A = this chain, B = another copy of it.
Amino acid sequence: MGTRKTAVFSETENELADLAKALGHPARVAILKELANRNVCVCGEIVDTLPLAQSTVSQHLKELKAAGLISGTVEGVKSCYCINWTAMERLKNLLEDCFKPCSDQNCAC
């Protein structure tokens, strides 16, 4: 119990769910927004823009990276992150492809 039964769902369902889950926190949305706005890859400045502890932000960055939504490189003593636009596009495409409305829509709800 308490464990997600991922093995039981399709590849695509899990992929979309994982990407969505990574986006499913306002802090991570804010981080991605920040990364999208700066052309230069930002590092710890992200921490300054968020009302969260450094360790917490670091954890969120780790999650985004694990989901493939961002990439990061070490620049001396600093860590530099930026958005993975390919993954963002992938998310949009999955969203588009998975939920196509069928031809005749006569829902009563």
Contact = CB atoms under 8 A, between A and B. Distances in A.
Question: Interface size bucket, A side?
Answer: 35 or more
A39 B20 CA distance: 25
Contacts of A13: 26, 29-30, 33
Given A16-B29, A102-B36, A108 B41 contact: yes
A88 B99 CA distance: 9
Contacts of A39: 102-107
A95 B98 contact: no
Interface of A: 4-6, 8-10, 13-14, 16-18, 20-30, 32-33, 36-41, 51-52, 70-73, 80-83, 85, 88, 91-92, 95-96, 98-109
